[in-house]
Structure 1
Amino acid sequence: MRRLAGDLGVQPSALYHHVSSRQELLGAVADEMLARGRRSTEVLGWQDELRLACVELRDTMLRHRDGAAVLAAARAQGVGGTEPVSRMAAVLAFNGADAELARVGAQTLFHFVFGHVADRQAAGVAGESGDADFAVGLAIVLRGLETRLGPKAADKS
């Protein structure tokens, strides 16, 4: 809080006129990171839409130093960072997943992306290192979801 207040040129106590706690600030930072990472595009198939959501999430976390840690902390404290999982669950539900499969599928996608980024950030790896592995791993998860959704979802992709 002191560092943020210093960057803004105010006293730390002044921040509490805008947020009630560090947790609320953390949630706001996580949500802002995610909002700035969204790309506007028209996507046709559900797999493409989920792939785009995962790539956006990955790129957003990688764009910010400790982006994975910030997002994980906000989610763990229940103060933000839930939009990508909600969006992925909605895509799955719209394409025939029951509530449980939509929830677990979205969480699985999030954890795959988060793990990929957290490993890269912990190792201090920058650039495109690991992008091929990310693409293959994501394709495996999406194929598994397609299998669980059945033939109607396969027709929509």
Structure 2
Amino acid sequence: MIQHTPSSECLIFDLEAYVPEADRHSPSFTLAANPHRAGHTLLGGVFHLFRPVTGEILSVPDFEHHWVWDEGDEAETVASIYRIFEGMRRRSYGKKRFAADPVVSGAGIANFDMPFIYAKCLQYELAAPDEIYDTVCKFRVVD
């Protein structure tokens, strides 16, 4: 049985992307953003990292904002966001077998946020592909 411990972490976040006007009206899907299409840009997002068992807030400030207009460009924004996931992964090293994996949560993150940030990390070659996958794609997702 999985157990949440005092060191268990949860990240609630929301990403936003720019989609060129010509691509905004998909005939088959409501989600128009595609990280592999030209001009589809990750604008950034808001992040709240905490330990649900203790209530300890790990984000400084309580809500971290990472946006292209603050970071300089999309590549820097993606790198800043990747570092959040890297930290969660690093802090989970050595956890007991039945201790809960870190949790990520947010509206629509399973079909937009997680795949989008994974693809952008690959695009900017922030690490080897297998390392990016282990860092971004192995959290428990609550959508």
Report the TM-score when normalising by structure 1: 0.28
Q: Greater strand share, 1 or 2?
A: 2
Higher relative contact order (CA 8 A, sep 6+): 2
When Rg is computed on C-alpha atoms for both structures, the one with the higher figure is 1
For normalisation by structure 2, the TM-score amounts to 0.30
